[in-house]
Amino acid sequence: MRSCIHFAKKKVSILRKCDLLYKRIVFPTTKQNNKIKAWLVLCRCCGTRLNPLMMCCLDCSTFGCLKHLRNAHLQEKGHLFAMSTCFGEIFCLKCDDFIYDRKIEKIRSEYQNARRKLLGLSLQHRWNPGRYEARLCRRSSLRLLRLLNSNNTGNSQQSIGGTSSIPGLRGLVNLGNTCFMNSIIQTLVHIPMLRDYFLSDQHNCKLCSLTPNSDLNTCLMCELSHIFQEFYGGESLYSPFVPNRMLHLVCFQFLERVVFGGSEKLNLFAYAFKIFACGSEI
């Protein structure tokens, strides 16, 4: 997904259409709008309704799957843009790709969260960086690429105090027979899906009902979010991390449930994934 040079010319008119489509078709929140979506979302060429890439033309409101709408409608009519009726993303015919626009994404997220709230699902919190933040991210990415290239060419890796400076590689202090907990933490912070989940603020600690207004929280998800932030962007990236708060939560919420006998590592690992599957209120 990328920005589009063709979108700017029709942005004003498309914004009005997007707002209506998000409300009535993509993320309906009323029975009437659900009926409208069920009736309208149908490919006029192949008759399918279940294709995840069902689209709506933003010029004439013709519905169809991406394959037929692109080949049999957009090209013939000279129309440029279509919207996914499942996810609300916008497709550009000239770019031949789904495109990104900050304002469209903000509107899409608002309607998506309204729909998720109605269904009792957790809200999506996406980070849309500004120009300054995007510049910092690019600099960090270039710095990481230079480090990786220096490794591939046999050069010495940049380090501070002899410690690797690649984000995510960080030691944990043993707090006294906490090897099993530390090994689970190291496993979790290097799972790509969990890393992306926590670093994109999908679990919003400020809105968490289990986190009181104090330094000590009672939510394992909030503490895991804190650990991910420390591993991938903390100020003390080159010193071992001390998981004292996690140990406190584990003692209260996990150890009392476990009968030790050599399987506590597996039990903790299973309990951690139960947290992710069911939410933090266990």
Q: What does the pLDDT look like over 236-278, one tens digit per residue? A: 666 788 888 888 877 766 555 544 444 555 566 566 656 555 5
Which amino acid type is present at position 139?
R
* pLDDT tens digits along 132-162: 777 777 777 666 666 656 655 554 444 444 4
| Dihedral angle computed from the Cα positions of residues 107, 133, 165 and 245, in that order, rounded to the nearest 10 degrees | -60
* pLDDT tens digits along 123-137: 777 666 677 777 777
Lowest mean pLDDT among 110-124, 152-166, 194-208: 152-166
Distance in angstroms (rounded) separating the CA atoms of residues 144 and 93: 35
Which has the closest alpha carbon to 227: 276, 270, 182? 182
Burial, 76: exposed, middle or buried (Cβ in 10 Å; 0-12, 13-18, 19+)?
exposed
H helices of 41-157, in order, are 66-68, 75-77, 102-118, 131-152
Domain 167-278, CATH among 3.90.70.10, 3.30.360.10, 3.40.50.2300, 3.40.250.10: 3.90.70.10
Write down the pTM of the prediction.
Answer: 0.47
Map residue 180 onto helix, strand or coil.
helix
Which superfamily is assigned to 8-118 in CATH? Answer: Zinc/RING finger domain, C3HC4 (zinc finger) (3.30.40.10)
Distance in angstroms (rounded) separating the CA atoms of residues 105 and 113: 12
In this structure, what token pair is assigned to residue 183?
A: 């090994």
DSSP state of 22: I
Phi-psi region of 279 (alpha: psi -120 to 50; beta: other; left: phi over 0): left
